[in-house]
C-alpha cells in the first residue's frame, strides 16, 4: 500500500512540474518588436502570436491527457504488482496458533497434560516427546495442580521441551456436606476449567488434545489426531475425537484392524481433542465436580458424537487417583494399547461423516444374523461370521453386556462406546454387535 501511494505521488509531482515549466516559458517569452510605422504589420504579429498561443494550449492539453493516462497506468500496474507480491510472499509468522480453519494440515494442536501429585508423569511425558513428529505443531503444556514439589521437579527436568503452568488456587473447594468425600472431584473440575481457559483464552489455540498424567500414548497418537482434526472441523455433528475405546480389552478388539475408527455417542475422554468453539460453549456452565459425567448428559452432548478407535491410542497406568482404582483392576489395566503405526493422514476418513457412516454402518449391523448370548458363550454357529445380539431394554442390555465382558454401566442411557445404542466388539475371535431393535428411536436418560 505504501509503494502504491508513492507511485501516485510521483506521477502527480511530474504533472505539476511539467505545467509549471510550461507557464514559466509563456511568461518569460520576450514581447515582439514595437512597430509604430505600420498597423498592418502589427496586426499580422498579433495574429501570429494568437496562433502560437493556441498551438501551445493544444500542446499543453495533449500533454495533460498524456500525464493523466500515465497516472492511470501507474495506479493500475502498482495494484497488480501488489496483488502478485501478496500472492507470492510467504505469510509472516504469527505468535502462537491458531491457523485458519482451511489450514487444518498446519494448525498447531497443543497437548495439554493434566498433572497433580504423580511423579510418574515422566512416563507420560517420555512417550509424548518420543512420538511427537514436530515440537512446533504439537507443543506440550503441563498444567499442574496440587503444588506437589516432587512432581514439579520432574516436569522442570524437561526444560524447554514442555511448558509448565501451575493452577494458582490450591485450597479446598466449598462443597455440600454430603459431598465432603468428593472434594477431589471438585478440585479436578476446577483445575480443568482453569487449564482449558489458559489454552483457549490466554494462549488462544484453535484446538487442543487433553491427556491425564497417567496415560501412555501409542506410536501413532499424533498421526491419529492430526488426521481426525479436519473431520471435527467439517462435521458439526461431532464434538470430540477420543483416543480411547472403553471396551478395548485385548481379547475384545481386532488388532489386525488398527486403522478402524467408529462414531460413538458416549464421551470417552482419556486422550481427547476439542475445538476452541466447544470451550466457548461449555465454559460458562462448567460444573463444579464430576465434569466427565456432566459432559455425557444430553444437555451438553446435544445429539453430537465423538470419533473413537477400534484399538486404543492411550492406556492408563494410574491405579492411584480420586476414584481409588474404580474399574482399573476389572477393566482399565487390560486395555490394549495400539503398537502398529497406522498412516491415518494418508487414509480416506470421509466414511466417518454422519450421513455416510449411517448409510454403511447401520445396514451392516442389522444385516448380521441374530444369535442368543448362550450361543455365543457356547461358541456355536461359527459359520455365521459376524453376528448380532439384540437387547430390548435396560435390564437386558446390562445382563448381556456383563455376560459378554463389556462395561455394563450407562450414562444418561448411553452405553460405553455405543452409537445409536449399538456396541461393536470382538468375542472369541468374531465381530459381534450388541444392538437395540432396528426401529430404535433414541436414548432413555433414565437408564443408568
Q: For residue range 63-104, what is the model confidence (pLDDT) as tens digits?
A: 555 545 444 443 443 343 333 333 333 333 333 333 434 557
Q: How far is CA 267 from the centre of its chain?
A: 17
CA distance 315 to 305: 22
Of residues 122, 116, 109, the one with CA closest to residue 272:
109
The runs of H, that is alpha helices, within 28-140 are 39-88, 121-131
Banded model confidence at residue 427, pLDDT cuts 50, 70, 90? very high
Q: How many domains does the chain have?
A: 3
CA distances from 262 to 13, 88, 241, 300, 413 (A): 69, 41, 10, 21, 19
Q: Single out the residue in 352, 370, 389 at which a domain terminates.
A: 352
Task: Indicate if 165 and 20 belong to the same structural domain.
Answer: no
Task: Indicate if 120 and 214 belong to the same structural domain.
Answer: yes
Task: Indicate if 382 and 290 belong to the same structural domain.
Answer: no
Q: Is 292 a catalytic residue?
A: yes
Of residues 102, 26, 92, 14, the one with CA closest to residue 57:
26
CA distance 424 to 239: 21
Instruction: Measure the N-to-C terminal CA separation of the chain; round to a whole number of Å.
Output: 64
Q: Single out the residue in 328, 352, 376 at which a domain terminates.
A: 352
pTM (whole model) above 0.95: no
- Specify whether the CB–CB gap between 339 and 201 falls below 8 A: no
Lowest-pLDDT choice from 45-54, 88-97, 207-216, 338-347: 88-97
Per-residue confidence (pLDDT) for residue 320, from 0 to 100 = 64
Establish if 97 belongs to a structural domain.
no
- Specify whether the CB–CB gap between 142 and 162 falls below 8 A: yes
Task: Indicate if 252 and 136 belong to the same structural domain.
Answer: yes
Task: Indicate if 178 and 50 belong to the same structural domain.
Answer: no
For residue 255, the SS3 value is helix
Per the prediction, the chain carries an average pLDDT of 84
Per-residue confidence (pLDDT) for residue 103, from 0 to 100 = 59
CA distance 350 to 346: 12
> Which residue of the set 292, 293, 408, 444 is catalytic?
292
pLDDT tens for each residue of 162-198: 999 999 999 999 999 999 999 999 999 999 999 999 9
Establish if 70 belongs to a structural domain.
yes
Task: Indicate if 190 and 313 belong to the same structural domain.
Answer: yes
Establish if 445 belongs to a structural domain.
yes
Per-residue confidence (pLDDT) for residue 265, from 0 to 100 = 98
CA distance 286 to 182: 17
Q: Single out the residue in 352, 372, 387 at which a domain terminates.
A: 352
Q: What is the DSSP letter of 249?
A: B
Establish if 93 belongs to a structural domain.
no
Domain span at 29? 2-88
- Specify whether the CB–CB gap between 250 and 336 falls below 8 A: yes
CATH code, 133: 3.90.550.10
Task: Indicate if 17 and 76 belong to the same structural domain.
Answer: yes
Establish if 8 belongs to a structural domain.
yes
Task: Indicate if 219 and 272 belong to the same structural domain.
Answer: yes
Helix (H) or strand (E) holding 102: none
The β-bridge relationship of strands 111-115 and 207-212 is parallel
Helix (H) or strand (E) holding 156: helix 149-156
Task: Say which residue, 235 or 1, is predicted with more confidence.
Answer: 235
- Specify whether the CB–CB gap between 135 and 161 falls below 8 A: yes
Of residues 206, 203, 196, 209, the one with CA closest to residue 143:
196
Helix (H) or strand (E) holding 165: strand 163-166
Task: Indicate if 277 and 230 belong to the same structural domain.
Answer: yes
Task: Indicate if 367 and 407 belong to the same structural domain.
Answer: yes
- Whether the pLDDT of residue 314 is over 50: the answer is yes
Amino acid at each position: 500500500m505504501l509503494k502504491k501511494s508513492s507511485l501516485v505521488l510521483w506521477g502527480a509531482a511530474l504533472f505539476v512540474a511539467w505545467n509549471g515549466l510550461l507557464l514559466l516559458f509563456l511568461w518569460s517569452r520576450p514581447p515582439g518588436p514595437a512597430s509604430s510605422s505600420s498597423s498592418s504589420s502589427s496586426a499580422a504579429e498579433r495574429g501570429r502570436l494568437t496562433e502560437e498561443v493556441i498551438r501551445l494550449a493544444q500542446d499543453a492539453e495533449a500533454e495533460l491527457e498524456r500525464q493523466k493516462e500515465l497516472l492511470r497506468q501507474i495506479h493500475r500496474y502498482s495494484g497488480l504488482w501488489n496483488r502478485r507480491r501478496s500472492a507470492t510472499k510467504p505469510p509472516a509468522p504469527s505468535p502462537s496458533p491458531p491457523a485458519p480453519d482451511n489450514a487444518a494440515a498446519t494448525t498447531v494442536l497443543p497437548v495439554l497434560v493434566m498433572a497433580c501429585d504423580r511423579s510418574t508423569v515422566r512416563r507420560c511425558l517420555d512417550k509424548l516427546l518420543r512420538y511427537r513428529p514436530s515440537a512446533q505443531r504439537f507443543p506440550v503444556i503441563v498444567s499442574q495442580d496440587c503444588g506437589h514439589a516432587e512432581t514439579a521437579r520432574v516436569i522442570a527436568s524437561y526444560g524447554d521441551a514442555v511448558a509448565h503452568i501451575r493452577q494458582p488456587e490450591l485450597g479446598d473447594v466449598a462443597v455440600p456436606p454430603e459431598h465432603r468425600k468428593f472434594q477431589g472431584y471438585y478440585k479436578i473440575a476446577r483445575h480443568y476449567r482453569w487449564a482449558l481457559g489458559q489454552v483457549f483464552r490466554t494462549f488462544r489455540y484453535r484446538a487442543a488434545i487433553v491427556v491425564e498424567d497417567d496415560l501412555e500414548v501409542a506410536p501413532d497418537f499424533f498421526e491419529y489426531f492430526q488426521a481426525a482434526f479436519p473431520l471435527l472441523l467439517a462435521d458439526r455433528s461431532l464434538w470430540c475425537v477420543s483416543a480411547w475405546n472403553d471396551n478395548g480389552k485385548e481379547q475384545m478388539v481386532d488388532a489386525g484392524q488398527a486403522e478402524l475408527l467408529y462414531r460413538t455417542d458416549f464421551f470417552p475422554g482419556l486422550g481427547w481433542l476439542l475445538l476452541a468453539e466447544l470451550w466457548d460453549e461449555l465454559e460458562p456452565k462448567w460444573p463444579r465436580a464430576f465434569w466427565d459425567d456432566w459432559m455425557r448428559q444430553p444437555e451438553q452432548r446435544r445429539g453430537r458424537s465423538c470419533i473413537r478407535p477400534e484399538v486404543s491410542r492411550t492406556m492408563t497406568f494410574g491405579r492411584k487417583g480420586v476414584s481409588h482404582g474404580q474399574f482399573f483392576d476389572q477393566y482399565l489395566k487390560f486395555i490394549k494399547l495400539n503398537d502398529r503405526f497406522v498412516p491415518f493422514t494418508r487414509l480416506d476418513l470421509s466414511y466417518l461423516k454422519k450421513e455416510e457412516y449411517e448409510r454403511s454402518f447401520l445396514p451392516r449391523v442389522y444385516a448380521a444374523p441374530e444369535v442368543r448370548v448362550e450361543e455365543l458363550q457356547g461358541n456355536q454357529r461359527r459359520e455365521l461370521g459376524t453376528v448380532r445380539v439384540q437387547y430390548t431394554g435396560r435390564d437386558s442390555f446390562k445382563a448381556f453386556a456383563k455376560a459378554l465382558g463389556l462395561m455394563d454401566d450407562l450414562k444418561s442411557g448411553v452405553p460405553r462406546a455405543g452409537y445409536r445404542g449399538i456396541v461393536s466388539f470382538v468375542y472369541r475371535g468374531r465381530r459381534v454387535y450388541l444392538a437395540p431393535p432396528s426401529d430404535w428411536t433414541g436414548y432413555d436418560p433414565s437408564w443408568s
